[in-house]
Structure 1
Amino acid sequence: MDSSSDDETAMIIGAATSALAAGYAVLEAYRTPIVIPRPPHINRDQARENYMDSILYGSSSYCIDQIRMDQDTFFRLLNTLTVRGLLHPTIHMSLREQLLMFLQIVGYNLRFRTVGGYLYRSTETISRYFSIVLDAILKLYPELVHLPNQSTPPEILGNQRYYPWFADCIGAIDGTHILAAVPLEIQGKFRGRKGIPTQNVLAAISFDLKFSYVLAGWEGSAHDSRVLEDALSRPGGLQVPKDKYYLVDAGYGIRNGFIPPYIGVRYHLKEYDGNPPQNEKELFNLRHSSLRTTIERGFGILKKRFRVIDNDPFWDFKTQVDVVLACCILHNHIMGITPNDRFIQEVIQDQQSQTTIVLHEQESQTQQGQTQCQSQQGLTQSQTQSDRKAENREWARKRDAIAHAMYVDYLRRRQNR
């Protein structure tokens, strides 16, 4: 055998040896267990307390970011729930943790699993205590959401544009549509004008931007006037003191205790913008719309502060209704302590950027709303439809008298400039 054959044989043997060595190394690597470093020990109780302390004893702005209210407002609410015996600490969760986790959920529409991660709690624990806090807050409704008194609101009393013309006005009423998650077989009833399932929530808001009445849970397809009739017919429901009234939009129609704007007349928001009112109806609509921004501000603040109101819900429908009521209760609590926080300022600035609104409701829609109101069973046996029509005409005359007197005063003031 020559030398070249020996060299080739040696090369083959060397290559085979290298391949076997590489394969053996791979097998050894798979056999050798991979050591994963153990995570550092976390004291969950201490971490939880530190997390809550950072919110409740940090800066006011950070606290508002996290739980939608400042520290003073939080602890006052906590004290109210405790003193009333509505919320109790347990061996598993403190009072402040129960309330804090609830506020984070409704403030940001967070899932239970997410909040559980922040607080080192199971999803089941967060869900259970969420229901406990929700029930406790709902019991504050009679204390925090109540009808206004019969005195003239200071927001009207101190403004010559409104006083004495709206001296008997105690607030504004309107409905808002909030996203609803309901079973497929009943979604048709909940689809409103936008074609998505919603619940129609009716609310009365006073001029200090507090809710004075809330009725949640109606299907999105229900006409506003039908919801109003239900609110008036319920025991302990919406009440209008004698000779007082709420401002409403044209869809409700004029009736005892409810005054809408004039139909077919521009609905201005600014009185002096190069185009002053030309008649008493325009002036009435202008000032009517200016006062009715109260309801828009109220809903706007509610949705900006509590993101759960304006996002897809993930609870059963009863809980969805209760959450809306709870947010209105929390809103009133906050307004009673800090009535000028950043959420309110943001909504007011957004509204001030708008200049004009044109009345969109047509006369046929208003007549439809009046007919639906009159067809409801909420009418008492002693009141016939003719009585209702006569009453409506009386309130129409009252609106005309207000508009006329207001316009006479308006012309006089312009002449005296």
Structure 2
Amino acid sequence: MDPSLSRELLCKQAAALTVVMVSFVTTRLKRKRFDPEVEPDPLVYVLREQSELHRQRTLNMIYNSTDVECISMLRMKRAPFFALCTTFRERGLVTDREGVSVEEQVAMFLHVVGHNQRFRVVHQAFRRSIQTVHKHFHQVLYAVGELRKELIKAPSPTTHPKITGSYRWNPYLKDCIGAIDGTHVLARVPRHMQQAFRGRKTNPTQNVMVAVDFDLKFTYVLAGWEGSAHDALILADAIERDDGFTVPQGKFYLVDAGYACRTGFLPPFRGVRYHLSEFGSRNRPTNARELFNLRHSSLRVTVERAIGALKNRFRILDNKPFHKYKTQVKLVLACSILHNWILGFGIDEIVPDEEGFTGTQQDPLDDNGSQSQESSAMAAKRDAICNVMWEGRGSSRI
């Protein structure tokens, strides 16, 4: 045989043998990695077992213990927590997947929003990868959002028992269906947007408008506006939207002095004592307008109690967030939805007691031209309520 042909044949055989060996080694490596029959490294097995034990102990301590522990960690009692998980599971909004139960997914989400924890902290507490925490957080966030229409609903047009049961408000404010206020939530935005998000606060915020009924439940939430936006402007935007914010004919909301006195919205008298802290047993109202403002404030404080409960329960709304702004807006809505869900099971210790609650002293506000938008009919109605209230005050009633 020709020596050159012999060398060529040997080279081909060597190349074929190399391909076979590489293929064999690759296959063995894949089998070792993915074949369930191949025993993993003993150390890896021990670490996985320890993580699972730690996770189960953590979960049992959180929601299989007491309501006190559950509120401390998840910001709600066991009954609303398990009912929420059951609702998600039955509707297919959150499913048990990849060894992570619905309860664990919801617990991770509540741990983030309740304590403003970063994903890396939840990763350590629950022994899950950051990618797993991120995925399930957004899945639960979506699931909560799906409950919006059934949990954030317009208030009943009938007079609330809170009003009918009090001489201070009945019959003067019998047409009131709730209260409206704006609240600032700390925001994280790009540097070039921060100026627009700085209003009265030092840090960037989003200005959120909320409407609350006298059961302390949110009946409307509009999030996403810049912190520099005026409350009256956000209310005007809410009225123009097609998402269901309307005021029934003849009814009205209580608003603060930053809003105009217009049909459907009743503010206090400007330049007159208003906040509960300005009155007392030795500092009673001296005229009709002061009495009206005092009773207006004592009823409108409901919205401040609801906002206080919301921020006390979900610390992510009262601290600088770690999420994109679009997610921050969704979180305001989600926390409001969860607030209403929790109140469906009764008031807990996170909600401020009405007795002794004087509300928050507001900063002086520019009316932003709101006085020029005032309705003479609504102003006349306010004057009429004020005068009747003063005439029927009695000798010792405030």
In the superposition, the TM-score normalised over structure 1's length comes to 0.80
Change (3 A) 1:196 1:90: same
2:388 is aligned with 1:348: no
CA shift, 1:114, in A, is 0.8
CA shift, 1:85, in A, is 2.6
Structure 1 SS opposite 2:221: strand
Matches within 5 A, 1:102-113: 102-113=109-120
Match of 1:284 in 2: 292
Write the letter of the residue equivalent to 1:281.
R
How many residue pairs match? The answer is: 352
Q: Which whole-Å deviations, capped at 9, do the CAs of 1:219-267 have from their partners, x for residues lacking one?
A: 0111111100111100024211111100101111101100000011111
Identical amino acids, percent of aligned pairs: 47
Change (3 A) 1:234 1:289: same
2:346 is aligned with 1:338: yes
> Structure 1: how far apart are the matches of 2:280 and 2:55?
56
Unmatched tracts of structure 2, length 5 or more: 1-42
CA shift, 1:86, in A, is 1.8
2:389 is aligned with 1:414: no
Deviates more, 1:233-242 or 1:302-311: 233-242
> Structure 1: how far apart are the matches of 2:162 and 2:217?
13
Structure 1 SS opposite 2:210: strand
2:324 is aligned with 1:316: yes
Any conservation in 2 of the 1:205–1:295 contact (CA below 8 Å)?
yes
> Structure 2: how far apart are the matches of 1:369 and 1:315?
34
Q: Which whole-Å deviations, capped at 9, do the CAs of 1:2-60 have from their partners, x for residues lacking one?
A: xxxxxxxxxxxxxxxxxxxxxxxxxxxxxxxxxxxx89655133432232122111121
Any conservation in 2 of the 1:225–1:370 contact (CA below 8 Å)?
no
Write the letter of the residue equivalent to 1:111.
R
Residue of 304, 310, 313 corresponding to 1:296: 304
CA shift, 1:354, in A, is 4.5
Write the letter of the residue equivalent to 1:150.
P
CA shift, 1:205, in A, is 0.8
Any conservation in 2 of the 1:170–1:206 contact (CA below 8 Å)?
yes
Unmatched tracts of structure 1, length 5 or more: 1-37, 375-388
Write the letter of the residue equivalent to 2:177.
I
Provide runs of 4+ in structure 1 moved above 4 Å.
Answer: 38-42, 353-357, 359-362
CA shift, 1:193, in A, is 1.3
2:130 is aligned with 1:149: no
Matches within 5 A, 1:154-303: 154-269=161-276, 273-303=281-311
Any conservation in 1 of the 2:179–2:211 contact (CA below 8 Å)?
yes
> Structure 1: how far apart are the matches of 2:313 and 2:275?
28
Structure 2 SS opposite 1:137: helix
> Structure 2: how far apart are the matches of 1:328 and 1:109?
16
Change (3 A) 1:415 1:214: closer
Write the letter of the residue equivalent to 1:152.
T
Change (3 A) 1:156 1:186: same
Any conservation in 1 of the 2:289–2:386 contact (CA below 8 Å)?
yes
Structure 1 SS opposite 2:195: helix
Structure 1 SS opposite 2:155: coil
Q: CA RMSD in A?
A: 2.1
> Structure 1: how far apart are the matches of 2:48 and 2:119?
21
CA shift, 1:305, in A, is 0.6
